[in-house]
Amino acid sequence: MFIIILGAPGSGKGTVSKILSKMFKIQHLSTGDIFREAIAEKKTIGKKIEKYMKNGLLVPDEIVNKVIENKIKDNKKGLILDGYPRTIKQAKFLEDLLAKQDKKVDKILRLEIDDDEIIYRTEKRRICSNKECGEIYNLEFKKPKVENKCDKCGGSLVQREDDKKKVIKDRLRTYHKNSKPIIKYYEQLGIVSNIELSLNKNITKQDLEKVFI
Ligand code: AMP
């Protein structure tokens, strides 16, 4: 099963993907995480993409599509795709890639949330710096028990460079510009489900079961 999570940066795609990954026992693949790791580990690809990410811009389609091609070619069970596709070119590339294996995208889950809430929420987001863990916190509504320490592994919590206010605004602009045609494209296929979110509401497994079961 291939599930795509669509939503603005900071809408909670990572959290939703983690729940769905457990629910369906399929891997969660975040292109953003792959890129952040490549930058942190100073891989060749990391050097190419750093300037785009720092400025809240999209990494060029050819680079992203290559990464996805490598991840999908040996995949048997399916994936929860978080942050991909982000352009029509990527959506079409994915469709062709899956069609070659007689597979298709099964469901698009779109997370809807106001931009103002996103800015508020994202500025308060912290992530565990331990790569094996990567647990996501929010200083407003999912606080760690001990300040700046991960509840799960004790790793220190950090703020992503691109979660700072100016960059969030740029990322939101980029998201709105690119997401409209993608949503339209998948709506024509009749596979889009929407979930409305707000600051006061954390998404639960039960919310997701309503969409998938
Ligand atoms: P995310 O963690 O999904 O919010 O992604 C963080 C950043 O990584 C984005 O602002 C882009 O610069 C880059 N990125 C992640 N996924 C993609 C994608 N599918 N296409 C282009 N750029 C991407």
Q: Is the CB of 28 under 6 A from ligand 1?
A: no
Give the confidence band of 66 by pLDDT, cuts at 50, 70, 90: very high
pLDDT score for 166: 86
Q: Is 121 labeled as catalytic in the residue annotation?
A: no
Distance CA 168, CA 116 (A): 11
Distance from the CA of 34 to the center of ligand 1, in angstroms? 9
The whole-number pLDDT of residue 179 equals 93
Distance of CA 97 to CAs 9, 20, 93, 109, 115, Å?
25, 23, 6, 20, 33
120 phi, psi to nearest 5 deg: -60, -50
- Side-chain-side CA neighbours of 76 within 13 Å: the count stands at 0
Share of the chain above pLDDT 70, in %: 99
Find the 83 Cα to ligand 1 centroid distance in Å: 6
The pLDDT of residue 74 is: 82
State CA 115 to chain mean position distance.
16
Average pLDDT, rounded, for the chain: 92
Contacts of 11 (CB under 8 A, 6+ apart): 111, 112, 113, 118, 197
**pLDDT of 50 above 90:** yes
Q: Using CA atoms, how far apart are residues 157 and 128, in angstroms rounded to an integer?
A: 5
Please give the number of the atom of ligand 1 that sits closest to the Cα of 33: 2
Q: pLDDT of 119-157, one tens digit each?
A: 988 899 999 999 899 999 999 888 999 999 999 999 999
pLDDT digits (tens, 9 = 90+) for 71-130: 998 888 999 999 999 999 999 999 999 999 999 999 999 999 999 999 988 899 999 999
State residue 199's pLDDT score. 66
9 lines ligand 1 (CB under 6 A): yes
Mark whether 160 is an active-site residue. Answer: yes
Residue 84 near ligand 1, beta carbon < 6 Å: yes
Q: Is the CB of 93 within 6 Å of ligand 1?
A: no
